[in-house]
A = this chain, B = another copy of it.
């Protein structure tokens, strides 16, 4: 008799943004697999077991969790944000797809969470108020030329762009290269939002013009949102600027 495998998202790190559904999954599981800092967000009982692993070992972590669930344990794989957005749910599905037949019998329950771009957008207004896309800027898992093609395609077609995994020590130049590509397509005044650790004590939100945006304004905890040509900034006396993308496009737009 195989157990249940939860794949949960804790949201961006503010406990008030973790859903009751995710907390119920935590209460029901006895073993937890995840990147250490995400496991640190959980309050566990005595007897609940932590298996912390490095951020890069997603497929091995998924396999280890599936093996434990196959023996009958109720297991929880923990992502930050939403588990389905550049996170563990796809790694678990990949492991099932290429794993032993018995893993298909496991009761897999994916529990959604607030993903970073939604939390960042909420803190600054409504930059995702119209058509938008999410792109991982990591070229660990896909060739850089595909990322370039995608950036051009969505910028030319008028999407707002949320960039996940914008920069890391091992990937220092990609975000700057992305800005260069976008500067050739979008107006210089296009707002760029650097949303770091939204909702956490170390939150830092900044808005730059695309012409002035610098990769050094982002770190690994940052989600970068680049507006479309329609995106607007509202200056407010005594309050932070609001950034939003109108719900409508005029008939005379491109």
Does residue A136 face the partner (Cβ distance < 8 Å to B)? Answer: yes
Does residue A245 face the partner (Cβ distance < 8 Å to B)? Answer: yes
Taking a contact as CB atoms under 8 Å apart, the answer to whether A93 and B234 are in contact is yes
B residues within 8 A CB of A84? 118, 121-122, 126-129
Minimal beta-carbon separation of A187 from chain B (angstroms): 17
User: Secondary structure of the A side of the interface?
Assistant: mixed
Taking a contact as CB atoms under 8 Å apart, the answer to whether A251 and B123 are in contact is no
- Assembly of this chain: how many copies? 2
Does residue A1 face the partner (Cβ distance < 8 Å to B)? Answer: no
Contact with A129, one of B93, B104, B149, B249 (Cβ below 8 angstroms): B93
Does residue A11 face the partner (Cβ distance < 8 Å to B)? Answer: yes
B residues within 8 A CB of A55? none
A51-95 CB contact bits vs B (8 Å, 1 = yes)? Answer: 000000010000000000000000000000011111001111110
Known contacts A84-B121, A136-B130; is-contact A90 B246 (Cβ 8 Å): yes
Minimal beta-carbon separation of A243 from chain B (angstroms): 8
Does residue A221 face the partner (Cβ distance < 8 Å to B)? Answer: no
Q: Which of A87-130 contact B (CB under 8 A)?
A: 89-94, 96-97, 104-105, 107-108, 110-115, 118-119, 121-123, 125-130
B residues within 8 A CB of A16? 19-21, 24
Complex Cα distance, B135 from A134, in Å, reads 12
Q: How many residues of A contact B (CB 8 A)?
A: 79
| 7 CB-based A-B contacts, threshold 8 Å | A90-B244, A93-B126, A104-B234, A108-B242, A131-B150, A146-B249, A153-B153
List the 8 shortest-distance A-B pairs measured between CB atoms, nearest first: A90-B129, A93-B244, A133-B133, A89-B126, A153-B157, A16-B21, A142-B249, A110-B122
Which residues of A are in contact with B by a Cβ distance under 8 Å? 11, 14-21, 24, 58, 82-86, 89-94, 96-97, 104-105, 107-108, 110-115, 118-119, 121-123, 125-136, 141-143, 146, 149-150, 153-154, 156-159, 232, 234, 236-239, 242, 244-249, 251, 253-254
